[in-house]
Amino acid sequence: MAANLYRLAVSVSAKAHAPYSGLKVGAALATTDGRTYAGCNIENASYPEGWCAETSAISHMVVDGGGTIADIAVFCSAIDLITPCGGCRQRIAEFGSPETKIHLCDGSGIADTMTLEQLLPRAFDFKEPKSEK
């Protein structure tokens, strides 16, 4: 399954719209019930308006009904071993668990696998406000 996510991440990275950074990033995720979604980064002339490959993949999952992320692979041919940015770690946390596996990929395949807990220890989590004393 992880090997399939690697292939998907590589192929979707070719679709990235990254004329400003030149970094074409691909991400592919699998849900705990076995669905897969892929996405690429999409940059904008107004730089802060661009977004990451992981965010695109997560948005595809959400519009298809949501789910829980079991695994996510990230690939960028121009970087030895890309890791999700801080914001994407938090987005993965929103739809994952501390055990969610993050596969860090290079040109030859999955080079390392880490858990979300390792990449984002003590992630911000908020369910409901504490009651006033």
List residues binding ligand THU (CB under 6 A).
Answer: 18, 21, 23, 25, 41, 43, 50, 52-54, 84-85, 88
Query: Could you identify the residue written with the tokens 């979300």?
Result: 116
54 is catalytic: yes
Rounded to a whole number of angstroms, the minimum distance from the CB of residue 25 to ligand THU is 3
How far is the C-alpha of 16 from the C-alpha of 81, rounded, in Å? 18
How far is the C-alpha of 78 from the C-alpha of 75, rounded, in Å? 9
Which residues are bridge partners to 19 per DSSP? Answer: none
Q: Which is nearer to ligand THU, 31 or 41 (CB)?
A: 41
- Other Cβ atoms within 10 Å of 13 Cβ, number: 27
Rounded to a whole number of angstroms, the minimum distance from the CB of residue 88 to ligand THU is 5
Rounded to a whole number of angstroms, the minimum distance from the CB of residue 79 to ligand THU is 9
Active site residue ranges: 54
